[in-house]
Amino acid sequence: MSSRSNLTGSSLLRGLLILATALGTIPLIMLLSVPSDTLAQGLFGVTTILLVAALKPFTWRSMPLRFLMLATAGAVVLRYWMWRFFETLPSAEDPVSLAAAWMLFAVETYAIVLFFLNAFLLADPLKRGMPEMVPVDRLPTVDILVPSYNEPIDLLSVTLAAARNIHYPAHLLNVVLCDDGGTDQKCTSSDPAEAEAAQARRKALQALCEHLGATYLTRERNVSAKAGNLNSALGQTRGEFVAVFDADHIPSSDFLARTVGFLVRDPKLFLVQTPHFFINKDPIQRNLDLPDACPAENEMFYALIQKGLDRWDGAFFCGSAALLRRAALDAVGGFSGQTITEDAETALDIHARGWHSLYIGRALIAGLQPETFSSFIQQRGRWAAGMMQILRLKNPIFRPGLTLAQRLCYYNSMSYWFFPVVRLIFLLSPLLYLFFGLQIFVASFEEALVYTLTYLVVSFLVQNALFSSVRWPLISEVYEIAQTPYLIRATLGALLRPRGFRFQVTAKDETVADSFLSPIYRPLLVLFLLMAAGVAAAGLRWVLLPDDRQVVMIVGGWALFNFLITGFSLRAVVEKRQRRVAPRVDLSVPARLEAGEDETALAVEVVDASTYGARLRLADAAHRRLRLKPGQTITFQPEIPDVPRASRRIACEIRSLQPEGRDLFLGLRFLPDQDASVREAVACLVFSDSGLWEKTRRSALAGRGLLAGMAYVFWRAATTIPRTSLDMVRLSWTVPPEEADAEAKGPAPHILAFGQDPDEPLPAREPEDKVRKPPMNGHGKTPVPTTPQAGLAAAPARENAGGTLQLSSR
């Protein structure tokens, strides 16, 4: 049975609503285009604002009421656009003002088109649960590909260890490290230092893979970046399905349990994409000191927009945390590499061949975001340029094989990255009047008030109704303005010269030991100073030109808004010191602690942990029996519920003792150079339970009302701007030259998915029409196992030769 068979009922209702909306579009447009006096428009505005405000609380409770709210808002938006087009553009007698007015009108039109596209996508987003059960004896072979370039070995060891402990039959799972940092090209480089580093990396990673029961692969030359690396691995592996994890995306133990069943049941399904969840804050979130309750910047996409894309069979590959069908990849020649965003490009190519995709909204990986503002901008610049490349080279609007809905889905995702151009024009437009007196639109004060204010209020109400749980009011504006002066070059450059960009890897091992001013602060500072000059110019016009005060009141208010939002965004360039080397994850895991000469085992609780250390809670009766002190070596063995076979004794050094009430909390640092099985224990302790990620995500999706959210941003902006100015002066002398709720109780996901524990040994099946090929070697002389070990729990203990899995102190 197809994975889309359960969508019929809601799809029919959605279709009827859309048909009714379409039939009413033409008479609605004719009605909205009829001119009216200011009083009538004012009454229309007040009525629609009250109606949208009344419907707002029911946005996600009733689909018909959601459609009614969107239809009402759509009428207001169309009415405003027609007023702007027919009545507010200056005459051709002032060509300079006319050009400026058309520039502003063009970006307003773009924003209105996006409004309707988002309404189309979010009218009925799709939510999926567990796939249907697939018996263990019918499960396919899976290759897990982990592409790597220059990531630290410690980081890779965590990802590989977690991948090796995914619940799945061991003889059907092959974890592959695709190393692009140890290629033959790099190992034989003419630069001796580069060659020596590449050879050392290859050797260390080969040892790491051998210890973890993974496969090491590399290739001859570094061509086509990540897409070329993955395609090289595809040519040396044979799994029916392919899972892809970035080097810093650590999978939970139930990843395949929650994804593989969809692909097994629907032979035309090529992709199951899951969210990218991050355990650390992004640099803007950290530097602006946004609260933990404020949803992460990527949640709007992964918690809502991807579900909307999924409704229209438009969910696309995001480069990691996904399971793909090899047959679909083979049909298009592997991962696409014509652009620097191989993920969306690959999905577009496969969708155009008639294959389908699917998105599930549960986070099944935990990753790391860029730590510095400059790395964040580099990453987003790559995404922006890549999407512009796809738009130019493989325009989805004209791409054969796509449905109309898919064309709109892809166009919406790509056109979003025009935001640097749009934001810059919205920021500079009021300055054209305040500095040069240009007429950017022609209207009386009363007309501007009743049309523009109605449009803005309704737009903010609808935006907050749709996105309140995933994006606080005005936070999108803050993020986009912080990126605008940097991404505009990438956006326009890729649009005009789509073949002139190269893939750049985002740094994965940065830390911010001390606060400093980002080396790329100048463009954003210049933008802020322009906004400040605009506010000053508005003040001068108010004093010197009394007859213009009504216009100055509107345009000056716009300039003040831009000043406050840009000033708040400017805080992003003041890098805030990190107090932890690795992010801690809150846990509640029972463990046994051994300390003292008699090594008495005591029951304790692991309350949080990272790949560097942990914190244990000892109850009153327990810690009073021990004599603990900083610097003492102890061991503890966690009881990992999701992967019990990975439970191992972990040696630690006590770094701190903190009494709280009758309890004692131990701060621990993991000792370096422990057995490789400890690497698995730490990885599984911290990352095996996807329920932790869902709990964390949901805790930040409570939402915030429109007025409260706007008040928060304005207050933070007003109080942050003076502090940012002082910090920029103070830190300008120290700029471094370079920047280095849980599900209901029941069977475990892998039991629900496969009917039994897939970790139990079963005879390898040998279909009559498909005999497994013998092992093959990749570059680096490491065998490709056809039946890799189930993990280090079943492998002989070995010395740790592949780094310390971040178990060393830094």
- Six token digits for residue 263: 């692909």
- Joined together, the tokens standing for residue 447 give 């007309």
DSSP 340-364: S-HHHHHHHHHHTTT-EEEE--S--
Give all strands of the β-sheet with 322-325 in edge-to-edge order: 215-217, 173-179, 142-148, 241-244, 322-325, 269-273, 356-359
Cα–chain-centroid distance for residue 51? 34
Q: Which residue out of 180, 248, 313, 759 is catalytically annotated?
A: 180
CB 373, CB 287: distance < 8 Å: yes
User: At 62, is the secondary structure helix, strand, or coil?
Assistant: coil
**Active-site annotation holds for 180:** yes
Q: What is the DSSP string of 640-681?
A: -SS-GGG---EEEEEEEEEEETTEEEEEEEEPSS--HHHHHH
Query: Are the C-beta atoms of residues 216 and 204 closer than 8 Å to each other?
Result: no
Q: Name the 3-class secondary structure at 395.
A: coil
530's tokens: 């322009």
Catalytic: 343? yes
Tokens 């300008």 locate to 732
Question: Position 293: which residue type?
Answer: A
Per the CB < 8 A criterion, the answer to whether 525 and 743 are in contact is no
Task: Please check whether residue 566 is in contact with residue 528, taking contact to mean a CB–CB distance below 8 angstroms.
Answer: yes
In the structure encoding, which two tokens stand for residue 469, read together? Answer: 């749980």
Read off the amino acid at residue 518. S
Integer Cα distance of 758 and 741 in angstroms: 26
Give 782's Cβ-side CA count (13 Å radius): 25
Q: What phi and psi, each to the nearest 5 degrees, are found at residue 285? A: -60, -40
Q: Torsion angle, CA of 461/465/468/470, rounded to 10 degrees?
A: -130
Bridge partners of residue 601, in order along the sequence: 594
Q: Nearest Cα to 568, choosing from 289, 190, 179, 324? A: 289
DSSP class of residue 146 equals: E
Containing H/E element for 527? helix 522-544
The CA dihedral of 462, 467, 472, 473, to the nearest 10 degrees, is -20
Copy the structure tokens of residue 370.
């860029």
Q: Which whole-number Å values give the CA distances from 775 to 453, 784, 786, 788, 791, in the listed order?
A: 69, 6, 6, 11, 19
Q: Which residue is catalytic, options 254, 282, 310, 343?
A: 343
The C-alpha angle with vertex 610 and arms to 604 and 614, in degrees rounded to 5, equals 30
Q: Which of 200, 204, 178 is nearest to 187 (CA)?
A: 200
Q: Which two tokens stand for residue 135?
A: 């018996």
Q: At what angle do helices 153-164 and 192-212 cross, to 10 degrees?
A: 30
Q: Strand 633-638 relative to strand 650-660: parallel, antiparallel, unpaired?
A: antiparallel
Grouping H, G, I as helix, E, B as strand and the rest as coil, residue 566 is helix
Query: Helix crossing, 549-570 with 445-467: angle to 10°?
Result: 30
* Distance separating alpha carbons of residues 288 and 282, to the nearest angstrom: 10
List beta partners, residue 606.
589, 616
Q: What are phi and psi of 508, to 5 degrees?
A: -110, -5
| Contact of 741 with 694, CB cutoff 8 Å | yes
Contacts of 344 (CB under 8 A, 6+ apart): 316, 317, 318, 386, 387, 390, 410, 413, 414
DSSP 747: S
- Residues involved in catalysis: 180, 343
